[in-house]
Structures are given as C-alpha cells and as structure tokens.
C-alpha cells in the first residue's frame, strides 16, 4: 500500500483528529483539524478527510453500536488509537460501498501499525474481519471463497 496516496493520507490525518477528540472527550475542533490537515499539506485528499471526520462524528452512535458486535470489551477499554481506526473503517464499511472491503481492512491495519500499540493491528484486523462478515457479507464471502481457492492451488 503506497503511503503517499491522497486517501491514505486523509485516513492517517482523520485517525489523528479523531484520536485527539477522543482523548480530549470533545468533538474534533477546527484548530485540530486545520493543524492535522496542515501537517499533510498537499498530500491529502482534504474532502475525504473532512468526510471521514464529520461522518464518524455524526454517526458515532451507530458506528459504536455496530462495533459492539465484534469487540470483546467495552470500547472505553480499547486503546484510543485503535478505536479511532475502527470507527473510520466501520464508517467506510457502512457508507462507502465503492471502497472494497479488503481495501478498508488493509488500510485500517496499516493505520494501526503506524499509530497503535505493538499488537494493535492484529486486534484491528480481527475486529474488522468480523465486521466485514457482518456489514459486507457478499464481498466477504467472495473474498473468503477466493482465499480458499488459492489455498487449493
């Protein structure tokens, strides 16, 4: 996955903005969003960044309700970086059917590797795999069938 792609950078920036909001226990502030966007300057898809931050903020109750089906503890007990990554991915699963399930999953795992704890990416992968099976059933089953077919070769 190329780290310089504008949407990848938008996701990276969105994780930082949502993390900041989560640890400060308040909605993302314009100052934080401006700072984060400035950090990425011309490398970021600014519209996608705003869509992610505003979408996750607006849909947070729905997203968190979906996450309760796949997490093994209260969200408040999950590392804030991982929560931010998971929320972005679930938002994309729910509202961006144009982005393939595997792309959402892989981008989230890479974000967790970059920003999360040492084993955080494994947790994110497991949760999002369950979420993919739930929220993107047709795509998930097709990907699973393709993996089985490749194993048989």
What's the pLDDT at 2? 41
What would the mean pLDDT of 16-34 be, rounded to a whole number? 82
Range in 19-33, 94-108, 134-148 the model is least confident about: 19-33
Does 3 have pLDDT greater than 50? no
| pLDDT over threshold 50, residue 105 | yes
Alpha-carbon gap, residue 76 to 48, rounded angstroms: 27
pTM: 0.89
Q: Is 122 exposed, middle or buried (0-12, 13-18, 19+ CB in 10 A)?
A: middle
Question: Would you kindly state where each structural domain of the chain is located, as residue ranges?
Answer: 6-152
For 93, counting Cβ atoms within 10 Å of its Cβ (0-12 exposed, 13-18 middle, 19+ buried), the class is: buried
Q: What is the mean pLDDT of the chain?
A: 89
Burial degree of 34 (CB within 10 A; 0-12, 13-18, 19+): exposed
Position 147 confidence tier, pLDDT thresholds 50, 70, 90? confident
Tell me, what's the pLDDT at 1?
Answer: 37
Fold of 6-152: N-utilizing Substance Protein B Homolog; Chain A (1.10.940)
Residue 4, pLDDT score: 63
| pLDDT confidence of residue 150 | 83
pLDDT in tens, 27-86: 887 766 676 767 766 788 889 999 999 999 999 999 999 999 999 999 999 999 999 999
């Amino acid at each position: 996955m190329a780290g310089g792609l504008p949407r990848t950078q938008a996701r990276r920036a969105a994780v930082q903005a949502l993390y900041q909001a989560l640890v400060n226990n308040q909605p993302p502030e314009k100052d934080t969003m401006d700072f984060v966007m400035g950090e990425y300057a011309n490398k970021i898809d600014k519209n996608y960044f705003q869509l992610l931050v505003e979408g996750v903020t607006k849909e947070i109750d729905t997203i968190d309700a979906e996450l309760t089906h796949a997490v093994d503890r209260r969200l408040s007990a999950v590392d804030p970086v991982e929560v931010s990554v998971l929320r972005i991915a679930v938002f994309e699963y729910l509202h961006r059917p144009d982005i393939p399930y595997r792309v959402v999953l892989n981008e989230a795992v890479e974000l967790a590797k970059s920003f999360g704890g040492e084993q955080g990416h494994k947790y994110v992968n497991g949760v999002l795999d369950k979420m993919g099976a739930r929220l993107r059933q047709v795509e998930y089953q097709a990907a699973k069938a393709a993996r089985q077919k490749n194993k048989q070769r």
